[in-house]
Every structure is written in C-alpha cells, then in structure tokens.
Structure 1
Amino acid sequence: MNTCHFYRVQLLRASLLLMAISATASASATSFELDVKDLQTVAPAKRAPKRKAPAPAASAETKRDTVPAETKRGVSRYTVKPGDFIFKILMREYGLSNAAAEALIPEIQRINNLRSITRLSVGQTILIPLEGPRAAVRVQEFGERRETAEPAATVAVAPPTEPSPQVVESGPAPPSEQTAPPVTEAAAPVPPRPEPAPATRPAEAAPPISPAPVVVSAPSSFSRRLITLWQSLVPGQERVEPITLNGRVLPPEEFPLLLAADGGKILVDMKGTLLPRDKSTLAERHPDIRLVSRGASSERDFFTVLLRTAEFAHVEEDAVATIGSDPQLTVKADYRITRLPAVATRGPENVFLFLERNGSCLPAALISALADNGINSVEFCDVAPQPPSVPGYELRSVTGTTPCELAVQLLGVLAVKLDRNRIVSGSMGENAESRFSIRVDGYFENDGKKFILSCNDNDSYNYTLFRLLQLEGYGIIQLGDKDDFATVADKILTVLRYPHSFGRHDFTHDRYTVSALGFRVTRLGPVSGRMLIIDRPVDPAFAELLQWER
C-alpha cells in the first residue's frame, strides 16, 4: 500500500480502539463492538512468526518414539540400546568416520549434559545434532572442521588465562564454513536449526571447496627417526593412524603414535605442549594410549622412559656383549631389549639399541658381527659412518703348521716375492776361482738387499756355507725345527727391519673394542701400511672393524 493509505488505515484502527474502550466503559450501543477478525486483518503480517510455537525437536519433553532414532528439524533423537556408547552410535547408526565422530562428541555431551560418553542408561534418549543417518556423508565432509569454526562447543579448550594447546594450527576456514549458522547458547537444550538455505550447501550450488590446509611445523628428523627405529622394535607401525583430539588430527611429526610391545599404543608429546585437560580427554576417549613427553629431557632419559612404557619383556641399560675369544670383540650398547617373538616356537629375542654418538651410525661390520651371533641391533641415527682419512690396520692371518710354512706365508703377507729351492753361488775367501753353489729353501730381495731362507739348522756344512754368503752381504734367516709363529715372525721382521711389537693389542672405539694377540707391524717399502698379523683364521667382520682404527 502507498503511504497515504497506510496512515488512513492506522488512523481508522486507533479510532476504532478508542471507541471500543469508550463503549465498554459507558455501556454504549452495540454498533461500536469490534470483530476480532477485523483487527487480525489490520495487524502487520511480518509479526506473525512470533506467534508460532517452538519447533517440536527443541523440547526435551517431546513424546518418545519406539524407533531407535528420530529426526526432526536437524536434530535426531536416539534411544539407547544395550551395549551402546556414543562412538558406536555415531559410527553404526549415522555412518560417521572416527574423526567425524570425535569432532561431534563435545557438542553431544553439552546439549545432553553427559559427563561420560561410555556410561549410558538403556532406554535413555539422547539428542544427536544431525539430520539423521542419511546426512552422514555431509557430516564427514565438514564435521571435523566445525570444531575449528566453533571452539565454544568443545570441552577441552583452555580458558583465556591459559595458552591454548599447541596441537595443530589450522588455516582460515573456507567461505562456505564461515557463513554456517553458529552453535546456539547453552541456555537452549537443543539448538534450533532453520531449513537449510542454499548458502549452507556449497556442494549443491558450486563445486566442493577443499578443506583448509593444516599448517604444521617443519618435519622433525627426530620424529622420523623414532618411527623408523620403532618399526624395527615393534613391527606393524605402518598400520598406526594419527588420532584426533578436540576435532584436530595430531600430526605425527609432533605427536608420533607408536605400538607398544603388549598391543597398546604410546603417544609421544615431542614438545610437551599437551595441557592437563587434553591429557584427561585422551585418557577418557583412548584408554589404551599411554602418554610419554619428550619435552626438554635428554635423549637418553627419553628413551629410558619410552622403553619402560612399551612393556617389553626386559630392558637393560648399558648392555655388553662379548664375541669370540682371540680375536675378541666387545660391544657396548645403550640398551638390551628382550622381546617375545610372534611365533611361539621361538625363544626370546635380544635386540641392542644404540643411540647416536659422534654424529654418525655404526659400521656395518659391527651390525653384521652381532647378527652372526644372534643379536639383532637397531640404531637411532641417520648419518652413515665415514671411514678415517688414514687407513687403519690390515688384519692378516698366518696359519702354517711348520716353521717353513709359517715363514713362506708371512713373507707372502708382507708382499715379498720368494723364490723357492733356488741355487745360490758364492766364493771361498779372496780366491775367486774357489766358488761353491748351494740350494736354499728360499731366496728374496727387499730394499736392495739379498736374503736367504733356510728351514733346517741341523746341517753343519750348510751352516758354514751360509756364513760365507753372509760375508758377501746376504741376509740369512735360519729357522729351527721347533720354532713357533712368534719366533718365526720375529726373525723375519727383525731381518727386514720392520717396526713391530708382539703381544695382546686392544683397538678401542666408543662402541666396541677389538682385542687380539699377534704382531703389530708397520710395513715399509713400496707397499706401506699398518698390519696386525695373527696365527688364527680371520673373521671378515673383525678385519673390517680394524680398518676403522685411527
């Protein structure tokens, strides 16, 4: 209507009301009585919604139905059955994922005043703020994000005087979520929801908007190394999925979730940022998860607590293993872990755990030596060991059974070319015409000098000839029938003038010690280097470890 007409109607209405009041007071004629219908036709149409009754779903006194779940105006009423709990109801009846159910639980607790999500009474009616089981797909799409957009609906949000849990930082919500209707005040038992408008259904009006990216700190090498190591201790780590706390997925970089040896789980708080309220929520919703904080504790202290929490059969700190007798390898580990194998027919398994030292991992030979003796090993490190700039010791073996065999093998180890059964000529005195020839067991030259090897010292005639050859500059190595390895080696090394020492030598590193009885030799000549010569077979692992000796 136009402006003039509107004022005329209002004036007429006021006049009629005054006349009606006057008529009532003075008992005037009935021609001034009003019909209620006439007043209703004059009242503004826009005030009509205020006269409507509240939505039936908003009242907790609504008559219960016999079906398990009833949906009215965006809120579903569910009657608890034997064995029900909130997680089971949301996932079975409404088809929600674990993350979506986790995000919705705080609001369900609030509107139903539930102190526990597992202790429900059979026959109890609870209100579920969903549009029935068919809306599960829509809830899975944005159910988790609603916790971020509506923090007032959560139960584990820190008060303003405390810092909020540094679990994960979320980016800004998509425009479609920012315009979603907010959760109503706690005064109303059930938040009334109007019919969905096109603006609240972006999937129908436009292509789906990708969820806001989760912003986390840079990946921690400590976390990656920890998960890799734990896979060696408790296989199956790849099947563990991150958990959700207060509607937010805890990133593995900051909160690694590990399998325990007894089937439980361990949540590691790398930065020690979980508040007591967060821990209480975890304990209530995930009773099988144990919490270990990394915080500012040392690497050693952290692993001590972590291994004890994992419930292995036995954990020993500063373990020592001895392999062999001579040579002998002594290995020191930070922890020895005894675990029970998956196959019952096998006995307990021993695992050595090495924490990083000196900035690198252990040589592969050490791991191999332990494995050959039934000890598995794992390392908490990610830097491959670098060989020393100066070559270590070359471990060589001489195992002959006779003095002559020992001498021949030793000369071969020293890279000396030996001629066997060679005829050597010499002269008797100053008369060059008086010459002689003799067959020797061995002849070789080294550093410009000539040497003769004799394996028999019982022939006096040959002994005289050797003395004559010695006068001509030959070096003579005369072996006895009862000479052992130590005697033979000392005679040869002394004639060659190689620096050497005989005895038990220990080559000690930070993690292991190689001990052996033999000759420690500095080889001279074209092929130089350091050697350890023993009279027993060489273990390849021991030989490789000695090459790391500085």
Structure 2
Amino acid sequence: MNTCHFYRVPLLRAFLLLMAIGAPASASATSFELDVKDLQTVAPAKRTPKRKTAAPAASAETKGGVSRYTVKPGDFIFKVLMREYGLSNAAAEALIPEIQRINNLRSITRLSVGQTILIPLAGPRTTGRAQETGERREPAEPAVAAPPPEEPSAQAVAPAPAAPPEPTVPPAVEAAAPPRPAPAPMVRAVETAPPAYPVPAAAPASASSFSQRLISLWQSLVPGQERVGPISLNGKVLSPEEFPLLLAADGGKILVDMKGALLPRDKNILAEKHSDIRLISRGTGSERDFFTVLLRAAEFARVEEDAVATIGSDPQLTVRADYRITRLPAVATRGPESVLLFLERSGSCLPAALISTLADNGITVAEFCQAAPQPPSVPGYEVRGITGTTPCELAVQLLDALTVKLERNRIVSGSMGENAESRFSIRVEGYFENDGKKFILSCNDNDSYNYTLFRLLQLEGYGVIQLGETDDFAIVADRILTALRYPHSFGRHDFTHDRYTVSVVGFRVTRLGPVSGRMLIIDRPVDPAFAELLQWER
C-alpha cells in the first residue's frame, strides 16, 4: 500500500503539470505551422518576378536570337564574348567566324568605338549570359543592383532551417546576399582595361605605344596578322599592350612579354595549352637586340642584318637598312619577296620619295617609326637637268637654270680704241647682265672678224663667252660658271643621308647673287624622286 502511494504522487504531479502547459504548447505549434505555410507560399511567388525582371532587359537587347552590342573603347570581339557574354575560350573562338560573317568584318580586332555589332546567341547558355550582361549594360541596370529583387532570393532560401526562430533567418541570409551583384564591378573594371588590338589609324602616330607600333609593323611583314586575336591565361585575356601576339611566317605564333611579367608556371601553362606559341621577352636591351631575337623566332626564309641595297648607276641610290627579310610569297607561282626593315634612328620615318623609289624597283619597305620625316634645317640641293644637243642650246638652258635673263640676237656697240671716234655695232647670239657686269654669248668661234670685235668689247669691260661647235656639256657649263664666278666642281658627287646615299655625275654649284643656294646640274632629265631625295641631303 505504501508502495502504491509512492508511485501515485509523482504521477499525479506530472499529470497536473501537463494540464497546466498543454494550452500554450498547442498555440506554439499552431503558430509554427502558419509561419511555415506562409514561407512556402511566399517563396515561389517572389521567385517569378526575379525571372521576369531579367527578361525585359534581355528583350530590349535581343531580337530574333541576335544580340546587339555597342563597341566601347578597348573592345575586341574575343574580349567581348568572354567578358560580356561569359563564353569560354573555346566557345568564343567557335563563334567568332559567324560574327565576322553576319557583320561583314575583315578583322576581329579593328572595331570602331560606337559601332554596333550583331552577336548570334548560339544556345540557352549563351542566351542566359547575354541576358545577364544585358541587365548590366541597359538602362534597366537598377533591376540588378536594387535591393527589392534580392529579398525574394533570401526568403526563398530561408525555409531550409526548421527551427522555431525562423523569422530571424531571413535577415541573416539577406546580409550574405550583397556578394551576388558582383558582376557590376567587372563592368566598371573594363573601362580601365588596356586598349584592344591596335587601331593605329584611330590615334596619332606620336601617341602609339611600342606594342601598337609592333603589331602595325607585323601586319606589313606577315599576311594574316590582322586576324590574330589575344589569348587567355588562367581565365583572363592577356592584354595586347603587355602581351602582343604575333603570327610567325611558318604559321606559328609569337607571344611577346613586354614587361617580363610571366612566371615560370604561366609559361608552362601556355606551353601546354598552345603548343605552337613561342615566348620571347622585350627585356631591357636595345631595340635592335629585341628585333634580332624576334625575327629569328618568326622563322622567315632568310634574315640579313645591316643590309645594303643598290639601285641604278647614274644616278645611283644606295640604301642601308637594319634588316633584309626574305619571305616566301602567298602565291606559289611567285618568287621570294624581299623586305627592307628600318628601325627608328633619327626620330622620324623615311621620306616618301625613298619608299616610292624602292617600290618601283621591287623592294618593299617596313618601318618601325612614329614621326613623319622633317625637312633639314639647311636646304639640300636643287637638281636641274640640261638636255640641249648643241653648244648654244646647252648655254641657253644653263643660264635659264641659273635664273639669268638672256636676250637673244642683241645688237651691241663699241669703239675702235680708247679715244677713237670710230664706232662699230655687232649682232650677238646672246646678251645678259649679272652682278653689275655685261656679258656676250657667242656660239661660233670660227669667225676671225667677230673675234677681233669681241676683243675690243672686252677692253670696254664686257665679258665674252665663246663656244665652239664641238663643245660638250662639261665644257659649256664650266665656261659659263667660270665667267659668272660661281664656285663649282665637276665629277661624281655623293650626297649622304642617315639612311641612303645618292651618287650623281654633274656640276656641284654654289649659286651667288640675289637668288642663292646649292645646285646640282646634270646633263640628263631629272628623276623627280631623286630630286626630292637630294632636297633632304644634310
């Protein structure tokens, strides 16, 4: 009996305690069920608006399965596909030919700022990423950055915990939500990215970087360079400014590390991923040393340093280039092509006349320079050609070249002796004055009577130039220049410039008087290109 009483007392106390707390426990359970139901109904309802928020931004940019993209500074197609549309390296390379076709683009790197290009959306993955990118680019960008669209996602995740303190979970998840709009900083970073594969024509030559000039030069050396785009490393596109990619003559590629920034592991990754790429560094050596290594890596048929090319005999042009490159032609029916490569020396490019003369003789020129050639501070030589066939024609043309006014068939009078009253008159082939002195030109020295009269005129202060019937260009020019007292010399003269030398046979003359200057007088028609080159003689 005592035993039963021992067990009854605790059981009675437990029963009374259960009755006391029964009602509150039931309310709590009821409240918990309502909260879960509410969360389950709210979450799906608020996911739908998020999907609809992205759709308008994409539809504003995508029509008929094609996305319209406006080119910004620093853009090139490969970079746009990977950055804006989230394509992988392989997917971007596969899509580029189709983009070139529908946009009629000859180059994937030469894009104009503000140009609109059409980008086909190749599948759901591409479309989804294009829509996401469209949200960032279009004016509807607040749809991604604004807080309201982010809250449904936090509530959709919140039902996962089943603990009673459920209302405190959404703020915790919401605090972790801000990292989701991370793509926005990526768009801003692109504004400061290095410029795309070069557009030398869009910027003044003086503003071109070493990499831009290098790629521009390479386009003139290796056909197909304009179709070469940058490559990626560790998920990032290598900037053409710091890592220009060049096409080799044998079809391989050369990656130039401008600042020596590639680590050994980066080089190993590139070697495994791109077996056809050769790595070289710009280094800290001279420009000449760098090009020697670069041209060796390019695998041209032949490369000759300190090359010399000679054209013609009189006049003769001798050109000194840093390199002569022999390359195989794109068309098999043609022979090897020769290219003279000039590096920058005096701070300017070659004169257009020199490039034209070389091109007329089958020699192509490639230059690594920036500034247009500047005329020398001291004028060069004015070239004049004398082509007459008789002594008198030669004399008339030479005086005209010297800007001396000649009167033809002039009657000149003189006196017989110093105090003689008897005077005489004679018709001469030419009469002119220079530096205050009178001159007579006679084209026939066989008349003894005229010879006597000329001697009398000399006594009165006339200068007499008598030419023989067999006198050639050299004799006629020497007599006239001597009579005028112009400093002159006849022979083969070499006129040397930094890059070339022009060798010509003729008279080198220093003209005096009101019209002064240096002249080169030759006995043949003047080649305009050679005449321009001599204007650059220093």
With structure 1 as the length reference, what TM-score do the two structures score?
0.64
**Alignment correspondent of 1:425:** 413
Correspondence 1:302 to 2:302: no
Task: Output the CA distance in 2 between the equivalents of 1:538 and 1:364.
Answer: 17
CA deviation profile, 1:403-434 (whole Å, cap 9, x unmatched): 21211111111011111122211111245542
Instruction: Output one character per residue of 1:64-103: Cα deviation in whole Å (capped at 9) or x when no partner.
Output: xxxxxxxxxxxxxxxxxxxxxxxxxxx9xxx97343879x
Between the aligned residues of both structures, percent identity stands at 77
Paired amino acid for 2:449: Y
Are 1:198 and 1:205, in contact at CA under 8 Å, matched by a contact in 2? no
**SS of corresponding position for 2:305:** strand
**1:506 is matched with which residue: 473, 487, 494?**
494
Within-5 A mapping of 1:532-547: 532-547=520-535
Q: CA deviation at 1:547?
A: 0.9
Q: Could you tell me which residue of structure 2 aligns to residue 99 of structure 1?
A: 89
Contact kept, 8 Å, 1:100 with 1:139, in 2: the verdict is: no
Q: Distance in 1 between matches of 2:432 and 2:338?
A: 52
Instruction: Return closer, same or farther for 1:100/1:137 CA change in 2, 3 Å cut-off.
Output: farther
State the partner residue of 1:485. 473
Which of 363, 383, 401 does residue 395 from structure 1 map onto?
Answer: 383
Instruction: Say which SS state the counterpart of residue 303 (structure 1) adopts.
Output: helix
- Structure 1 residues 134-158: Cα deviation after superposition (integer angstroms, max 9, x where no partner): 5455578999xxxxxxxxxxxxxxx
Match of 1:318 among 298, 306, 318: 306
2-side partners of 1:352 and 1:498: how far apart? 40
Number of the residue aligned with 1:341: 329
Q: Within 5 Å, which residues of 2 pair with 1:106-505?
A: 134-135=124-125, 211-214=187-190, 215=192, 221-430=209-418, 433-505=421-493
The letter for the 2-side match of 1:390 is V
Residue deviations 1:313-334 (CA, integer Å, cap 9, x gap): 2211111111111111100001
Equivalent-residue separation in structure 1 for 2:226 and 2:179 (angstroms)? 34
- How far is the alpha carbon of 1:347 from its aligned partner? 2.1
RMSD: 3.8
TM-aligned CA distance change 1:230 to 1:175, over 3 Å: farther
- Structure 2's unaligned 5+ residue stretches are 1-12, 15-28, 34-80, 93-122, 134-144, 148-152, 154-172, 196-206
Name the residue aligned to 1:531.
Answer: 519
Mapping for residues 20-99 of structure 1, pairs under 5 Å: 97-99=87-89
Using the TM superposition, give the Cα deviation of residue 238 of structure 1 relative to its aligned residue in structure 2, in angstroms.
2.6
CA contact (8 A) 1:96 1:137 kept: no
In the TM superposition, residue 458 of structure 1 has moved relative to its aligned partner by 0.8
CA distance in 2, matches of 1:201, 1:321: 70
Residue 212 of structure 1: how far off its partner (Å): 4.7
Q: Is the contact made by 2:412 and 2:428 (CA closer than 8 Å) also made in structure 1?
A: yes
- Structure 1 residues 98 and 342, CA, compared in 2 at 3 Å: closer, same or farther? farther
Higher helix share: 2
- Displacement of 1:210 in angstroms is 5.4
* Bigger Cα displacement from structure 2, 422-431 vs 361-370: 422-431
For each residue in 1:242-272, what CA deviation from the matched residue of structure 2 results, as whole angstroms up to 9, or x when unmatched? 1110011101010011112222221111111
CA distance in 2, matches of 1:502, 1:544: 21
Distance 1:383 1:234 in 2: 23
On the 8 A contact 2:307/2:320 being kept in 1, the answer is yes
AA partner of residue 240 (structure 2): P
Q: Which amino acid aligns with 1:377?
A: V
Count of residues paired in the alignment: 390
- Aligned partner of 2:537 in structure 1 is 549
Using the alignment, how far apart are the partners of 1:521 and 1:279 within structure 2? Answer: 63
